[in-house]
Amino acid sequence: MAHRVLHFFADFFVYETAKSVVVKSWSVGIINRVVQLLIILYFIGWVFMHEKGHQSRDTGIESAVMTKVKGLGKFNNRVNDVADYVVPSQGGSSFSIITSMVITANQTQGRCPETDHKFKCTTDDDCMAKLDSNLGNGIITGTCLNDTSGTTGWCEIQGWCPAEDDNVTENSMKEVENFTIFIKNSIRFPKFNVTRGNFPSSLNQSYIQSCRYDPVDHPFCPVFKVGDILRHINQSLDSITDKGGEIGININWKCNLDYNVTYCNPNYFFTRLDAAFKNSVASKGYNFRFAKYYQSEDGTECRTLHKAKAIRFEIIVSGNAGKFNTVPFLINLVTALTSVGLATVFCDIILLNFHKGADEYKAKKFEEVSGVVSKSANNRLYEGSQMAIKALEKSSNDSGTFSIGRQESHSPPNQ
């Protein structure tokens, strides 16, 4: 029993390491070191410097955005302020600035003719065919209401009357170019518990009120002029106010928290979000309908319908942060060190196939154990095949360590 335990321990603590062949050759030695150097450079340059392989990374950025638009513009025969043209009014990360409206006032429930050219008719049958249409301003009753001229008419609808006629051309609010958007973006990297704002606390009130963001001159200014944004995305004011459109304001945080946290600042990018549809004939621009409800004097409910063309802004916050952490650092370091050993694979191919003393290297590197199977049929095959191989050897163009040269007969060292 004591022997058994002794045996186990003696055996367990035996140390085993690979036996190496040392080749004193300038050419292979230099190739080996050059390949190792390239591998080391790759790890230093790409894995550690570019990909920040020594850092633990937080991609779960948490963000809160508050926006405030300022500016005054005229449309609809009146001066409009923020409460009139910003929808929704709460100043979140997504909001629209209405640049023009088709207003249909004093609508009440009832029956009246359609206004859309799709619902022109001459007889009731024309309208009966459109009973289930979703495209009208109300439910099609199936009656064709003729003009006084009696030649063409419009289908009758039931719903809010009079129906909206959106062929009216309204002037759009060109003053939107001078409007400013103040963006307060607060982010947090939960993994590192780092909280940052998109502008430094040191900025004073008067700077924030007067500055306009500029990537070069005012990179920390949180106030964006709509005209500047349009210039960044190469859009003309007219193209976007006439049809409406969607603009993305990307706030990108890429933070290296190994440096001081004050270097953790955002970059701003601007994109036209509906760019994917710019060649599409359908569905240009951006508009939506809403209604304001009144109670008329006789108690019936009435409403004013608004079809608003607007510029929609979406604040899109993205980013990640990295900080030194021993675990990814060690993993990548170990990977780097073991990868350096891979140079051997490449050098072996050269050494065993293309080098002057290849045969002698083979004899050294490979040791055969064929005696074991010498009385079997296997071995006769091997012996036969070895002769064939010997004859073929010079013409072999196989390029791996696996397939060339091990058939060279040489006396194994300990026989």
Would you say 97 or 144 has its CB closer to its own copies?
97
Is 70 in contact with 208 (CB distance < 8 Å)? no
User: Is there a binding annotation on residue 307?
Assistant: yes
Is 289 annotated in a binding site? The answer is yes
CA 325 to chain centre: 26
Smallest gap from Cβ 155 to its own copies, in A, equals: 13
Element (H, E) at 252: strand 245-256
Q: Does 148 belong to an annotated binding site? A: no
Min dist. Cβ of residue 185 to its own copies (A)? 9
Give the nearer residue to its own copies in terms of CB position, either 131 or 236.
131
Residue nearer to its own copies on the CB measure, 121 or 226 = 226
Pick between residue 29 and residue 215 the one whose CB is nearest to its own copies: 29
Comparison of 14 and 216: residue with beta carbon closer to its own copies: 14
3-state secondary structure of 414: coil
Between 26-42 and 326-340, two packed helices, what is the crossing angle to 10 degrees? 160
8 A C-beta contact, residue 287 and residue 295 = no
To which H or E segment does residue 361 belong?
A: helix 358-365
Cβ at position 223, least distance to its own copies in Å: 10
Query: How many Å is the Cα radius of gyration of the chain?
Result: 40
Structure tokens at 147: 């003009």
Pairing of strands 245-256, 301-324: parallel
The CB-of-150 to its own copies minimum distance in angstroms stands at: 28
Instruction: Report the SS3 class of residue 370.
Output: coil
As measured in angstroms, the least distance from the Cβ of 396 to its own copies is 9
Query: 70: annotated binding-site residue?
Result: yes
Was 152 annotated as part of a binding site? no
CB-based contact 123:341 (threshold 8 Å): no
229 to 71, 119, 182, 271: CA distances (angstroms): 15, 41, 13, 9
- Whether the upstream peptide bond of residue 88 has omega within 30° of 0, thus cis, is yes
Give whichever of 260 and 295 is closer to its own copies, judged by the CB atom: 295
Closest approach, Cβ 148 to its own copies, in A, equals: 26
Query: How distant is the alpha carbon of residue 400 from its chain centre?
Result: 42
Residue closer to its own copies (CB basis): 121 or 315 = 315
Tell me if 180 is assigned to a ligand binding site: yes
Rama region for 47: left / alpha / beta (φ>0; ψ in -120 to 50; rest): alpha
Q: Residue 270 Cβ, how far from its own copies at the closest point, in Å?
A: 12
Contacts of 380 (CB under 8 A, 6+ apart): none
Annotated binding site: 68-70, 180, 287-289, 307
Annotated binding site for ATP: 68-70, 180, 287-289, 307
